[in-house]
């Protein structure tokens, strides 16, 4: 029985530091990735004129040509049921600076979408603090 405890103790002597080192490296890798990524979200002050031939979808966001990111829920101004996520490429995307309208030119059609700006306050989407304040008033 004593021999078994010695083997367990010898295994723990090396496996615990190696385990902690692996966890540390994993957490460091996640933090490095999160801190080193560049925010490519299209915002209201931005200006863009881009011919899009590559669209990548990830967690409700579209990445155009690996250069800008837009929410898939961006709606058509004339037809709110049409979302920007259902367009086939290639198309041209144009946005003037300090404007919330995205113009998309596809073949002979021109579509206008209202940009969802993450920096803009939306009263229909309260923060947790605002929701709790409203709930307990």
For 23, the domain range is 1-37
Which helix (H) or strand (E) covers residue 64, if one does? Answer: strand 61-64
Number of domains in the chain: 2
Do 79 and 129 fall within a single domain? Answer: yes
Please list the residues that pair with 55 across neighbouring strands: 64
What's the pLDDT at 43?
83
Task: Pull the structure tokens for residue 131.
Answer: 């929701």
Do 92 and 126 fall into the same domain? yes
- pLDDT per residue of the chain (137 residues) written in tens, 0 to 9: 677 767 777 677 777 788 888 899 999 888 887 776 677 888 888 899 999 888 888 888 888 888 888 888 888 888 888 888 777 878 999 999 988 899 999 888 899 998 887 667 777 777 788 888 888 87
* Residues 109 and 53 both lie in one domain: yes
Q: Are residues 74 and 128 in the same domain?
A: yes
Are residues 128 and 75 located together in one domain of the fold? yes
Distance CA 108, CA 72 (A): 23
Q: How much is the pTM?
A: 0.62
Quick count: other Cβ atoms within 10 Å of Cβ 20? Answer: 10
């Amino acid at each position: 029985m004593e021999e078994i405890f010695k083997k367990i103790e010898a295994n723990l002597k090396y496996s615990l530091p190696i385990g902690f080192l692996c966890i540390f490296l994993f957490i460091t890798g996640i933090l490095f990735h999160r801190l080193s990524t560049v925010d490519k979200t299209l915002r209201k002050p931005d200006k863009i004129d881009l011919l899009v031939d590559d669209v990548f979808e990830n967690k409700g966001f579209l990445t155009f040509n690996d250069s800008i990111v837009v929410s898939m829920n961006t709606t058509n101004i004339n037809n709110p049921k049409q979302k920007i996520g259902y367009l086939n490429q290639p198309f041209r995307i144009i946005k003037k600076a300090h404007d919330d309208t995205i113009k998309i030119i596809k073949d002979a059609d021109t579509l206008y979408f209202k940009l969802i700006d993450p920096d803009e306050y939306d009263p229909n989407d309260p923060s947790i603090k605002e929701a709790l304040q409203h709930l307990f008033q």
